Structure 1
Amino acid sequence: MSTGTTTDYGHDLLFGTFVSPTNQPVHHAVEQAVVADRAGLDLVTFQDHPYLPTFHDTSTLLAYTAARTERIRLSANVTNLPLRPPAVLARSIASLDLLSGGRAELGIGAGGFWDPIVSMGGPRRTPGESIDALEEAIAIIRGIWDAGDRSRLSIKGDFYQVEGAKRGPAPAHAVGIWVGAYKPRILRMVGRAADGWLPSIQYLGNGLADLTTGNRLIDEAAVSAGRKPSDVRRFLNIGGRFTARGAGFLQGPPKQWVEELTAVALTYGTSGFILASDDATTTRTYAAEVAPAVRQAVAAARAGRPS
């Protein structure tokens, strides 16, 4: 597969895994993260569904995983905002970033499974309310992280309020706020306020073509807010199987994966590919045979060389 560059935001490529935070066997999720770390991947992420008793608490899992790994970056994919108050979440992520040496990122979502959220004491929100609440939360999180500002933080939103909160600590590095988003209104909010767009391929109603629409909405909103489109990194949660023969998108040998992910990167500006994997062999193959070859092919295309 070959393609010309149609969208390129100029970011270095990142490759990671999306690991189920299952609590049986108790250390399985952590061991999968250790595999990804040792294999040389950039990022390991975990779902955040605090209402599921079969899953570890993701904030605890991230902290424990940080202590068991050495270099890989860590994030929820994505944090369940309605059950995690933003000011406290900001301090939690800053602490994790400081303790891990700058390896924490913040994947975050507006919420969606409202019955179980309510069952755990959280609010029930309409889609529009959840987006407004997320934008308020991002402002609070950034305000808490702004430890250089000696003033107290006060934000009185419709959904979240902080009144004279002390700021800090600042994270060890510029933590990315990456939003799981699909619909136009929240995509525009991503362009205004976030650092990354983090969709999952299986939830794109029109497949990869939705990336073009999403990019346009994000880019327009970013420019309207006085930002650059490249201020928002584009990720994609993916799934697939390594097989001897091709049988569809990301269903085939590593060479096929390389061609397909290179095409996605060059066509849609996607620079972060996060593979759903709870299998050590799949993770190692992805790290050894796919990630470096995609990096090489994209670098060659950017330089105008044959891949």
Structure 2
Amino acid sequence: MTDHGHELLFGGFLTPDAGHPEQVVARARLCEQAGLDLVTFQDHPYQPGFLDTWTLMSYLAAATSRIRLAGNVLNLPLRQPVVLARSVASLDLLSGGRVELGLGTGAFWDAIEANGGRRLTPGQSVDALDEAIRIIREVWAADRRGGVRVDGEHYRVVGAKRGPAPAHPVGIWVGAYKPRLLRLVGRTADGWLPSLAYLPNGPADLAGLNALVDEGAAAAGRDPAEVRRLLNVSGRFTGTGVGFLDGPPRQWVRELTDLVLEHGTSGFVLGTDDPASIQLFAQEVAPGVRELVAAERAGSTTPAAPLPPEPTGPAGDPTEPTGTAGPASGRRETVRAGGVAGLAVTPTPAPEVRHSDHRLWDESTRPVAPPAPAGHVYSPQAQAVGGHLVDVHDHLRRELGEIRDLLDQVRRGVVSAGDARGVLNRMTLRQNNWTLGAYCAAYCTLVTQHHGLEDDAIFPHLRRADPGLVPVIDRLEQEHVVIHEVVEGVDRALVALIGDPARLTGLQQAVDVLTDTLLSHLSYEERNIVEPLARYGFYPGQL
């Protein structure tokens, strides 16, 4: 076992697409909302189709509140070390300690040279990185006396002032594959960040490459465990296992857990722009890996909340869909996994006091979902699935609160109607088209561009799983159309206010109708959908 005991990190690796900047921002926010620890971006400053990575990270530091940010990895030949050190420290201070420094030696030398960088040989690029790391650490050492002096072959610094120091010990993570660079990682870096797709033999290559990192650390008198091992991964979430990281979430959990325990990998960064995959990785894979690793580290063979049992078909073949075992045996298995009879998720009630007398539907005509089966046992995973809808709705409720606060600022002249409209347009409430429900609102920028979710969409899945839910789902979908128009009505009121500042009353009425309509709808959806989601999951075969 090579587990080095580091805290586990799970992150996203997003494309900084300059053609759709609003989607990049929305996906980064999704990574935070879904619970990931880190969001990262490739850095190719010579690529005009990409947003500048450092500018994007700076924008996102202000657009998020918890998630960490890193380049994956920053292109050192086009980023001067002293300036880079101060940029990282500054953003770390501004963001409250949420920046990590991923560094690379550079690869596309024609493009680098075309954009003003120096063409280096592979050996020279390793030496340049070594010098740059020394410079960056010296700049951050603001408590030392004297200026920074590094008389290197590639970087020469003659008395640069030190500081500022970052808000937290920023990790320097290096993307590396060749022996000399791997030894440098062990000697001077805080982490190793390769991409699994670049390893010819996949995970089988990790042992030998890790050994080179360890060799470099030992030569420098460091404990190899000081060097965090991270990994960029990619794959597919499918109903049955096809290959490595190509199968259901429980398969991903087992395979990533093995990488932690066998190779010391403690950070996994998923390369995808697909919102559904981000959500599955954050909400199912990450917690599962954490639980299994925590149990192993504690010396236990029984995790506090194990994975759902593997479905078994004839002759123990683990390929049949979930549910082939009989109800009684499945329930016993769930109870052993820590399940309980009764759903410990409380729907949020609609407010008793309404802001407007305007009603867009008759709430008394709403269908009600069939009752849950008596004595049904909900596993910890099922409880989490049921509760996740409430979490997503709470995000929308917070955005609604922001809209009402914006209205107050417009009324007081603190914010212009144009600026308020810009804020509204960036919100999940406005970006979603409401065709798949409020769940999708927090996880899709544009649902129509959401790969793979439509076939396994929540509502069609629930329709198939329980025909008794059909009237409820029909009603919810009808209300989604109404909500979409109500949100658009707020936007129209803002536009009208821009043309005529006296039309504040119309905006107030639009926001009041949105408040009453949305809160009523979210409460109705939770009362009728939370329990079925806990029983059937978000997609076929999830539970």
Q: Once the two structures are superposed, what CA deviation does each residue of 1:182-229 show, in whole Å capped at 9, x if it has no partner? A: 010000000111000000001112221221111111112111101111
From 94, 98, 117, give the equivalent of 1:99.
94
Question: Which whole-Å CA distance do the structure 2 matches of 1:7 and 1:234 have between them?
Answer: 11
Matched, 1:165 2:151: no
Counterpart residue number, 1:265: 260
Matched position secondary structure for 2:157: strand
Q: CA RMSD in A?
A: 0.8
Matched position secondary structure for 2:20: coil
Counterpart of 1:94, as a letter, is A
> Residues 239-278 of structure 1: matches in 2 within 5 Å?
239-278=234-273
Counterpart residue number, 2:115: 120
Question: Which whole-Å CA distance do the structure 2 matches of 1:18 and 1:11 have between them?
Answer: 21
Question: Which whole-Å CA distance do the structure 1 matches of 2:252 and 2:201 have between them?
Answer: 20
Shift of 1:302: 1.4
> Residues 1-307 of structure 1: matches in 2 within 5 Å?
6-306=1-301, 307=303
Q: Once the two structures are superposed, what CA deviation does each residue of 1:223-276 show, in whole Å capped at 9, x if it has no partner? A: 110111111000000001111111111111111111111111111000000000
Counterpart residue number, 1:3: none
Matched position secondary structure for 2:150: strand
Fraction of identical pairs, as percent: 62
Question: Which whole-Å CA distance do the structure 1 matches of 2:209 and 2:163 have between them?
Answer: 33
Question: Which whole-Å CA distance do the structure 2 matches of 1:144 and 1:174 have between them?
Answer: 13
Matched position secondary structure for 2:202: coil
**Structure 1 consecutive aligned stretches of length 4 or more whose deviation exceeds 6 Å:** none
Question: Which whole-Å CA distance do the structure 2 matches of 1:33 and 1:26 have between them?
Answer: 11
Question: Which whole-Å CA distance do the structure 1 matches of 2:157 and 2:23 have between them?
Answer: 38
Question: Which whole-Å CA distance do the structure 2 matches of 1:258 and 1:153 have between them?
Answer: 46
Counterpart of 1:228, as a letter, is D
Q: Once the two structures are superposed, what CA deviation does each residue of 1:30-56 show, in whole Å capped at 9, x if it has no partner? A: 111100011111000000000000000
Question: Which whole-Å CA distance do the structure 2 matches of 1:211 and 1:247 have between them?
Answer: 21
Matched position secondary structure for 1:262: helix
Counterpart of 1:8, as a letter, is D
Counterpart of 1:99, as a letter, is L
**Under a length normalisation based on structure 2, what TM-score does the superposition of the two structures give?**
0.55
Shift of 1:115: 0.5
Question: Which whole-Å CA distance do the structure 1 matches of 2:248 and 2:217 have between them?
Answer: 38
Counterpart of 2:18, as a letter, is N
Counterpart of 1:23, as a letter, is A
**Under a length normalisation based on structure 1, what TM-score does the superposition of the two structures give?**
0.97
Per chain length, whose mean CA-contact separation is higher, i.e. which structure has more relative contact order (CA < 8 Å, sep 6+)? 1
Matched position secondary structure for 1:27: helix
Structure in which a larger fraction of residues adopt strand = 1
Shift of 1:160: 0.2
Matched position secondary structure for 1:124: coil
The structure number with the bigger radius of gyration is 2
After superposing the two structures, state which structure 1 stretch, 51-60 or 245-254, moved more.
245-254
Q: Once the two structures are superposed, what CA deviation does each residue of 1:90-134 show, in whole Å capped at 9, x if it has no partner? A: 001001100000000000000011000011010100000000000
Number of residue pairs matched? 302
Counterpart of 2:295, as a letter, is A
Matched position secondary structure for 1:208: helix
Question: Which whole-Å CA distance do the structure 2 matches of 1:143 and 1:132 have between them?
Answer: 17
Q: Once the two structures are superposed, what CA deviation does each residue of 1:148-188 show, in whole Å capped at 9, x if it has no partner? A: 01211111100001111000000000000000000100000
Counterpart of 1:32, as a letter, is R
Instruction: Could you tell me which runs of 5 or more consecutive residues in structure 2 were left unpaired when the two chains were aligned.
Output: 304-543
Counterpart of 1:40, as a letter, is G
Question: Which whole-Å CA distance do the structure 1 matches of 2:152 and 2:44 have between them?
Answer: 25
